[in-house]
């Protein structure tokens, strides 16, 4: 397969399941390398994007299909997860661009991580890096990690009760640990500590703190 094309935010892509003539679909929500590490953007050393520089933030859709033709009426299966670039040579799966759709950046949610940074335990969420009063990040179940597209594909079919289509590596637990949102009780504990409304959208919260997500999408 020739892989000359590159994906941009808004593009809808397909992944062919390893060993099967079956396809799943997703959308690029944020390209860390192209958008955040642009010459036009001032980077904040406190954010976690250095860890995810080689990643796409993607949404994955429900459905397992017999062709790579773009389906109608796609519904979200996974709202937002960091994955090593879909258009990278390290992606072992066959993939391609199936279409594109506008992104409402006001609805994008970045994975939330609790981690040690500069001597304190912080909530890391997109560009936000907020000091908590907790002393040990290990008491939380999150990890600084991303997965490869083939592992993401296996998780998508697993979530749809098609374990018979899993091929190769599959780590459901690692996907869970990639986002504090998967641990609601711990998440409430963190937001209560920060005295922040846990239901506030990323766009609203980040803009209040001086980080307007719109600037990554209005420079085309």
* pLDDT tens-digit map of 162-202: 999 999 888 888 889 999 999 999 999 999 999 999 999 99
Q: How confident is the model at residue 220 (pLDDT cuts 50, 70, 90)?
A: very low
Tokens of residue 178, six digits: 């990639």
Residue 2 has pLDDT above 60, yes or no: no
Is 163 part of any domain? yes
Is 220 part of any domain? no
Is 64 part of any domain? yes
Q: Which domain holds residue 126?
A: 11-215
- pLDDT value for 38: 82
CA atoms of 202 and 26, how far apart (whole Å): 21
Determine contact, residues 150/92, Cβ cutoff 8 Å: yes
As a whole number, mean pLDDT of residues 147-158 equals: 95
Of 120, 29, 132, residue with least CA distance to 83: 29
Question: Tens of pLDDT along 87-108?
Answer: 998 899 999 999 999 999 999 9
Q: How confident is the model at residue 4 (pLDDT cuts 50, 70, 90)?
A: low
Split into its structural domains, the chain has a count of 1
CA atoms of 146 and 185, how far apart (whole Å): 23
Average per-residue pLDDT for the chain: 92
- pLDDT value for 1: 44
Is 24 part of any domain? yes
Is 6 part of any domain? no
Highest mean pLDDT among 33-42, 114-123, 183-192: 183-192
Is 47 part of any domain? yes
As a whole number, mean pLDDT of residues 203-211 equals: 95
213 burial via Cβ count (<10 Å: 0-12, 13-18, 19+): buried
As a whole number, mean pLDDT of residues 125-150 equals: 92
- pLDDT value for 172: 86
- pLDDT value for 141: 85
Is 2 part of any domain? no
Is 52 part of any domain? yes
Ramachandran region, residue 99 (left: φ > 0; alpha: ψ -120 to 50; beta: rest):
left
């Amino acid at each position: 397969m020739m892989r000359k094309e590159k994906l941009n935010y808004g593009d809808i892509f397909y992944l062919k399941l390893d060993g099967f003539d079956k396809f799943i679909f997703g959308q690029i929500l944020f390209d860390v390398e192209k958008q955040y590490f642009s010459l036009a953007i001032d980077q904040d050393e406190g954010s976690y994007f250095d860890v995810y520089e080689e990643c796409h933030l993607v949404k994955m859709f429900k459905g397992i299909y017999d062709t790579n033709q773009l389906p109608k009426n796609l519904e979200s299966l996974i709202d937002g997860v960091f994955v090593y670039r879909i258009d990278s040579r390290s992606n072992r799966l066959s993939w391609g661009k199936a279409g594109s759709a506008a992104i409402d950046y006001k609805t994008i949610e970045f994975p939330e991580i609790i981690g040690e940074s500069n001597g304190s335990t912080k909530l890391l969420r997109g560009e936000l890096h907020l000091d908590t009063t907790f002393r040990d990040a290990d008491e939380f179940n999150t990890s600084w990690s991303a997965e490869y597209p083939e592992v993401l594909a296996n998780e998508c079919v697993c979530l749809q009760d098609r374990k018979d289509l899993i091929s190769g590596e599959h780590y459901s637990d690692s996907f869970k640990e990639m986002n504090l949102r998967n641990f609601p009780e711990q998440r409430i504990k963190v937001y209560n500590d920060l005295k922040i409304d846990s239901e506030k959208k990323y766009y609203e919260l980040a803009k209040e703190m001086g980080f307007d997500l719109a600037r990554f999408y209005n420079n085309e």
